[in-house]
């Protein structure tokens, strides 16, 4: 695929500029996506809950019956501590 692109560039020099812009735009998109990922990670950390009983991080679980989310201790089933998600 890269070989084909190189060939097209050598044949049509005017296209080179367009191609370079395309690459730059794609690079910017990659940076933006990376930024978004970092932000969502930060948000996750902010929302991290610690169990009151054993001080281990809690994980989001979903009630299989009500489909409601809640925080459950990662030490489950040894620790059954939970917190409401909201
Ligand atoms: Zn716990």
86 residues of the chain, pLDDT tens digit each: 556 666 655 666 678 888 899 999 999 999 999 999 988 877 665 578 999 999 999 999 999 999 999 999 999 999 999 999 87
Residue with tokens 């191609």: 19
| CA–CA separation, 6 and 23 (whole Å) | 13
- Confidence at residue 17, expressed as pLDDT on a 0 to 100 scale: 87
Residue 58, CA atoms < 13 Å, CB-side half-sphere:
25
Ion ligand 1, residue ranges at CB < 5 A: 51, 53-54, 73, 75, 79, 81
Phi-psi region of 58 (alpha: psi -120 to 50; beta: other; left: phi over 0): beta
- Confidence at residue 42, expressed as pLDDT on a 0 to 100 scale: 73
For residue 46, the surrounding DSSP H or E stretch is helix 14-46
Q: How far away, in angstroms, is 46 Cα from ligand 1 center? A: 19
């Amino acid at each position: 695929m890269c070989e084909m692109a190189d060939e097209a560039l050598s044949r049509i020099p005017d296209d080179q500029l367009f191609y370079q812009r395309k690459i730059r735009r794609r690079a910017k998109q990659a940076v933006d996506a990376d930024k978004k990922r970092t932000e969502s990670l930060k948000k996750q950390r902010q929302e991290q809950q610690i169990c009151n009983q054993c001080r281990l991080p809690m994980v989001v679980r979903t009630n299989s019956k009500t489909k409601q989310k809640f925080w459950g201790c990662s030490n489950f089933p040894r620790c059954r501590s939970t917190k409401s998600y909201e």
